[in-house]
Amino acid sequence: MSSLREAHRRGFEMEETEEYDYNVLKEVGKASYDALNYGRGLVKEGAKLIDIAEGVESYLKGKGFELAFPVNVSINENAAHYTSPFGDMSTVPNGAVVKLDVGARKGTYLGDCATTIDLSGRYAKLVEAAEKALENAISMVKAGRKVNEIGREMEKMAKSYGFEPIRNLGGHGVERHDLHAGVFIPNFDNGDTTELEEGQVIAIEPFMTNGSGYVGDGETIEIFQKTGFPSIRAGGTREIAAFIDGHYLTFPFASRWIQKELKLESDFGIRKALTELAYADALESFPVLVEKKKGIVAQAEKEMIVEKDSCTVVTI
């Protein structure tokens, strides 16, 4: 085991035995929100998607933070999980609806927030529906609140604007070292009567669409996360696995990060290794999520601490 990996793990183990520090969480939340606003200024017609993603990632690192996950820049019917491959030449199309999803990390404390930029103005109501749904949902958050009640309000808001909530996406609990943990907060009334608990950290994440209300897996996969310890014989794959373990541990990462760090001209070996590791159940992959009828998708997201009678939003 490398000394770097040992140091990381010792640090995380020590952190996780300490009392939860909500001040650190608020610091991470503010950094995430500031980076999101910085990224908004980079989203322009013709801008390279990789420049937006890496610009925001560099901004956070320049402020002394790591990344909770690769910056997502998802266009039109792509709801989430698009981050650029190494050398990506894709640009923001004219009149695009762009979802920007950003999270800072400090140790094991994780931030998560998102916004939608409508470059044409034609989808202002769709964006407004997502933002209003988030605002109303936040106003309902308190200890004892049932998650399906929050979902019911977000669905009601979507319908009032003439849109559909995306039913197979939603908000989530946020725990140290785990961005999607515990509670699931639906975008509609799914009948789940799980109650929020005081002190719990959650992210509410309405997705609205003029399409079917469901997403499916696209062909593009650029985000991965370590989930196990593989028994791999191939030398190249073992080396990539060790690199992932030493640099990203169990946090999500982008394939371009590996290629950039290793200064490789081709991603063939990386792709091969990632495929083998995923097949061995050592990695989870996150395909781009695409609206099933190619409907336009808007997203809004904030992270908060559940309190007895309300909540404190940290991504502000």
Residues 173/205, Cβ–Cβ less than 8 Å = no
Residue 19 in this model has a pLDDT that exceeds 60:
yes
- Residues 174, 299 share a domain: yes
Residues designated catalytic:
101, 112, 172, 180, 205, 301
Exposure on the CB side of residue 248, measured as CA atoms within 13 A: 25
- Structural domain total, the chain: 2
pLDDT per position as a tens digit, 196-248: 999 999 999 999 999 999 999 999 999 999 998 777 766 789 899 999 999 99
- Verify that 128 and 230 share a domain, yes or no: no
**149 and 69 within one domain:** yes
What would the two tokens of residue 182 be?
């515990």
| CA 55/CA 273 separation, integer angstroms | 27
258 in the same domain as 211: no
**Same domain for 238 and 211:** no
**Is pLDDT at 195 greater than 50 in this prediction?**
yes
> What is the rounded average pLDDT for all residues in the chain?
93
Annotate 138-168 with DSSP letters as a single string. HHH--TT-BHHHHHHHHHHHHHHTT-EE-TT
What was the pLDDT predicted at 11? 45
Tokens coding 122: 């034609």
Residue, of 182 and 308, whose pLDDT is higher = 308
Residues 38-81: tens digit of each pLDDT = 999 999 999 999 999 999 999 999 999 999 999 999 999 999 99
Are 185 and 246 members of one domain?
Answer: no
pLDDT at 8 over 90: no
CATH number at residue 112: 3.90.230.10
Residues 99-114: pLDDT tens digits? 999 999 999 999 999 9
Q: Judge whether residue 10 has pLDDT over 50.
A: no
H-state helical runs in 108-254? 124-140, 147-160, 235-247
For residue 209, give its domain range: 3-218+288-313
Indicate if 86 and 147 belong to the same structural domain: yes
- Shared domain for 274 and 299, answered yes or no, is no
89/122 same-domain check = yes
Output phi, psi for 166, to 5 deg: -85, 115
Whether 16 has a pLDDT exceeding 70, the answer reads no
- 111 shares its domain with 12: yes
* CA distance linking residue 122 with residue 17, whole number of Å: 50
Give yes or no for residue 5 having a pLDDT over 70: no
255 and 139: one domain?
no
* Spacing of C-alpha 215 from chain mean position: 16
Same domain as 259, residue 211? no
Structure-token pair, residue 219: 């062909």
Nearest to 150 by CA among 111, 195, 180, 117: 195
Q: pLDDT confidence of 18, banded at 50, 70, 90?
A: low
Angstrom distance (rounded) from CA 123 to CA 190? 27
pLDDT of 144-179, one tens digit each?
A: 999 999 999 999 999 999 999 999 999 999 999 999
CATH number of the domain encompassing residue 256: 1.10.10.10
> What type of residue is 112?
D
